[in-house]
Structure 1
Amino acid sequence: MEKENKILIFRTSITKRCDIKRIGKLLAEFPQIDKWNVDFEDWEKILRIECSGITALEISEVLRNNHIFASELE
Structure 2
Amino acid sequence: MDVLVFSTSVKERRQVSRVTTLLTKIPAIMQWNFDLEDCDNILRIEAEGVCPRRIETLLQKAGIQCQELEY
Same topology, TM > 0.5? yes
In structure 1, give the amino acid aligned to 2:31: K
3-state SS, counterpart of residue 60 of structure 1? helix
Match of 1:71 in 2: 67
Q: State the partner residue of 1:28.
A: 24
Instruction: Give the 3-state SS of the residue equivalent to 2:15 in structure 1.
Output: helix
For 1:65, give the aligned amino acid. Answer: K
- What is the DSSP-based 3-state SS (H/G/I as helix, E as strand, rest coil) of the residue aligned with 1:53? coil
* Partner Cα separation in structure 2 for residue 65 and residue 39 of structure 1: 21
Report the equivalent of 1:41: 37
Residue 52 of structure 1: aligned partner: 48
Question: Residue type matched to 2:12 in 1?
Answer: K
**TM-score, normalising length: structure 1:** 0.91
Is there any run of 5+ residues in structure 1 with no aligned partner, and where? Answer: none
Number of equivalences: 70
TM-score when normalising by structure 2 = 0.95
- Give the aligned CA root-mean-square deviation in angstroms: 0.6
Q: How far apart in 2 are the matches of 1:47 and 1:24?
A: 11
Which protein is bigger by CA-based radius of gyration? 1
State the identity as a percent.
39
Structure 1 moving runs of 4+ over 4 Å: none
